[in-house]
Every structure is written in C-alpha cells, then in structure tokens.
Amino acid sequence: MNLVIDLSGLIDFLSQPFYIFAWQLFWLVGWIPVSLALLWGFKEMWIHYRQDQWSGAQKKIFLAIDIPRGNRQSPRAVENMFSYLAGAHGSINLIDQYWLGVIQLSFSFEIVSIDGYTQFVIRTPEKFRDLVETAIYSQYPDAEITEINDYTQETPSHFPDEEWDVWGAEFIHAKPEAYPIKVYEQFEHKMGEPEEHYRDPMAALMDLCSSLRKGEQLWYQIIVKPIDMNEWLAIGDKEVSKILKEKTKPQHNIFDKLGEGFLHILGEFSEIVYSLWSDINPAKKEEKDESLKMLNLKPKEKKQVEAIHHKISKIGFQTKIRFVYMAHKEVMNKPKVVNGFVGYMKQFAEMDQNNLKPDMKVTATSTNYLFKEMRLNDRKNKVVKRYKARDGGAGRKMGVLNTEELATIWHFPIESVVKAPLIQKAPGRKSEPPASLPVVEESGADHLVEPIFEAPLIEPEKVKRLEENGTAAVEREGKGKAPENLPFA
C-alpha cells in the first residue's frame, strides 16, 4: 500500500503573488496577534481610565511641619517615621485593580523656600492623615502640624512666561537602584566636641534656601510609595546574583510556562519508565563547592554585595525625586541655586556604590541641537505640571530608596549643627495629636514666630519685631518681612 500526499494545494498557495499570499495568510492566522495586541491596548486604556478616576476621588492635603526649637533628634527619628508610614501599603485584588482602578497611594515629602522663607511640607491622602500625624508625634511630641494650601498654585504652569522662568529636573540613580547611596551614619565622626560629631548635610540646603531673594522659589519633592517587601528583596538578590555571576532563571510569559510544564511532565514520565526497566542508577551530578565564592571576589565586589544586603535589610519605597527652581527673570540666578542644589545631592555620592544625579537626558530643562527652544519649553511645562500634580508615574521610572536613605536626603535639621536663619512657623488650624501622645499647647497668631533652629548671633539693634495682620515675623539685616502670598505665612 503506497501513501500518496498531495501537496499541489500548498504549492499553489505559496506560488501566488506576494500581496495575495500576505492577504490570505492574514485572514488565516494573522488576525490573532493583531487582536491580542488590540485587546491588550484596550485593557491598558481601561485600567488607566479607572485609575485616574479613582485617584482623582481621593482627597489630598498639605501639612506644614514645624519642629520645636532646640531640635537634637538625629535623622534616625525620621527613618522611624518612614518605617511607620510603610503601614500604608495594602494588597489589591483583581476587582480592585481591573474594575475599581485602585492603586497604591503615595506621599510627597517636600521642602519649599519662597523668597528665602523655608518650610517642610508633607502632602498625604486625607485617609492617611492620622497615620502621618502619629508618625511625626511619636518622634517629635512637641511638633506643630498645620494644614496649608498648595504653595505651587500661585505660579504659572505654562512656559514661556513673560514674568517667570524655571529650571527643573528629576534626580535618578547613577547605577541600579539596589546599590545604596551615602547615608547619614557616614557623616558622623569622633573628633572635636560632641556637638560636632555629626555634620548635617542638610546645612548646605538650608543655607541655600535662606539665601534666596524676593521673587525666587525653590521646590524640592520626594514622592514615596510603599512597595511589597518580597518584590524589594528580589531586586537586591538579583543584583547580588549578577555580581556573583550566578545563573538566574529568565522571566517567562504564560505560554513559556505552559510549555515548560508539559516538558516537565514528559520528563517525569520518562524517568518513571526508565526506573522500571533499568537497574542502572543515574550518574550523580558533580556539585561544585560554592563556600569560597565570596572569598574569590575583589574587594570592591565584596563591599558591593555587603552594601546591597544592608540596603535590602531595611524597608524600601518606590521613590521619585524632583527639583524645581522658579524665579522672576530679573532675579533668576541659576548658577547659585541649580548648581547649589546639585552640590547638595552630590554629598550623598558613594562612588563605588551609587549616587543621585540630575536626569539631563529626558526630564531636565536643558536641550541641545534641533528645535532647542520648542523642546526646552515642552520640558519646562512637563516638569512643572508633574511637580504640581505630585505625579510619580510620569517622567523617568521610579527608583527605590530604603528608609535610611530617605531620612538622609529629607530630615529636619539639627540645631547644634545647622545655623542658617530659617523658617517661619505656619499659623492656622493646628492638628491635634493622638490622645495617647503628649498634647502640645495651641499657638495662636499673636505669639511670636520662633525659628526651627537658632540663627547666627545678630546685634540687638539690627533685629526688631513686626506685628502685621496678626502675624509675627522677624526682620533681620538684609531680610524683609515674610511675603504675604505664602501659604504658610
């Protein structure tokens, strides 16, 4: 019996003109990937639409934080605050994600200086207000928390502008996020008087903020979003495996996993059959001794592995860092403010580990070559819009910093170290601390404003107190009264 296979139909199909062949092939199987791509696109659009609706319905508030005079708390207190805020992390099920559009809400820790007057601000979802206040009061029982308006609303959002100009950028990791930056403990030393053992890196930023003139504004924003701890640990372990040159399993999609499962079942079946019909024991695989792997690393690699393990041992947050310098054109001083802020961030550079740098390629308001002016204005509009929206998803991908790193780059200055003149307290409606914590006395508008930390010694005849509109201010030599349009003035 001869088996005859007729291939004439296939030959005729392949011998057609190319456009007819392509069209018929598309109708046979080509519509499948196109349909899958469209379905994926519609799914993403739906999720984005629902997330925007849900997020827009969540009310956010701004809290101005004033710590008491004579602060001696180290950044470790702020590190404890961040650890407590990790309690805002929640699990999201399929209905929440795909139907309701629920997302993990974020916090924004900010430092703003307007005309030389500086304020620490936390923007939080209103539902987490008690969480934020408890975190602050637990470390600073005498702190004052005041709800204020958004300070960014008094400035333009579209550029070019006749009166204002702006420079802004996001700050990103120079290396993978698993590598740590320099943290506050590395600024400590044991020489000199006890109050000199810690050199607060915040001193440089406070001095820069206090040097701003009328018409200048500095905005510094750190958006933090709690993440799953297992995901955070996996990021560090993956980077350690690269250093140790360990083989890692590639990430597969659902079709790869189904194929692997089928092959695994076939392999198990073949092993059973083989064991039934043969008494031959399978050869044992040679196992290499990995116990000396760390000893074979170079000193730099060994230090990196230890540093990564230390970083992932603490709670991590997805993080977005933005800086905006906005000023009237006639007083704008980019070399002082922009380079000064970059210098502040350079303090945290650990050259064999990681550092934070301005993202000059994508988000910084600096362009070269073609269509420079148009692209420059587009970048200005984007960075200001994203800052005002506290948008963590726009721009560059969010990195990860742990609580120790966050407390290093954002913390309340230590009075014995930082001597720059600051910071007017924010009068207005004051939040009450939780009942189980010490209660601070109400401070009305008729009280004198006290700076967060002590100012340099000034001759008495050069200092006088002003009382205007029920708000006290301090006029120093070369300093005027607080601007009237400040949301915390």
State the DSSP string of 1-37. Answer: -------HHHHHHHTS-HHHHHHHHIIIIIHHHHHHH
Domain-wise residue ranges, the chain? 61-235+304-475
Give the pLDDT confidence score for residue 136 in this predicted structure.
Answer: 96
Share above pLDDT 90 across residues of the chain, in percent, rounded to a whole number: 56
Please determine, for residue 45, whether its predicted confidence score (pLDDT) is greater than 60.
Answer: yes
Q: What is the mean pLDDT of the chain?
A: 81
- Band of pLDDT at residue 20, cut at 50, 70 and 90: confident
The reported pLDDT for the residue numbered 206 is 94
Summarised one tens digit per residue, pLDDT across range 458-472 is 344 433 433 443 333
Cβ burial of 412 (10 Å; 0-12, 13-18, 19+) is buried
User: Once rounded to an integer, what is the mean pLDDT over residues 398-403?
Assistant: 96
Write the pLDDT tens digit of every residue in 172-214.
999 999 999 999 999 887 665 655 567 889 999 999 999 999 9
Q: Which residue has the higher pLDDT, 79 or 293?
A: 79
- Determine if residue 111 is left, alpha or beta; phi over 0 gives left, psi from -120 to 50 gives alpha, anything else beta: beta
More confident residue, 9 or 56: 56
* Among 218, 160, 215, CA closest to 332: 215
For 271, phi and psi rounded to 5 degrees?
-65, -40
pLDDT 10s digits, 248-282: 665 555 555 555 665 666 565 555 555 555 554 55
Flag whether pLDDT at 422 surpasses 70.
Answer: no
Residue scoring higher pLDDT (233 or 268): 233
* Residue of higher predicted confidence among 453 and 224: 224
Q: For residue 21, what pLDDT is reported?
A: 74
Reply yes or no on whether the pLDDT at 159 is more than 90.
yes
Residue of 18 and 280 predicted with greater confidence: 18
pLDDT of residue 323: 98
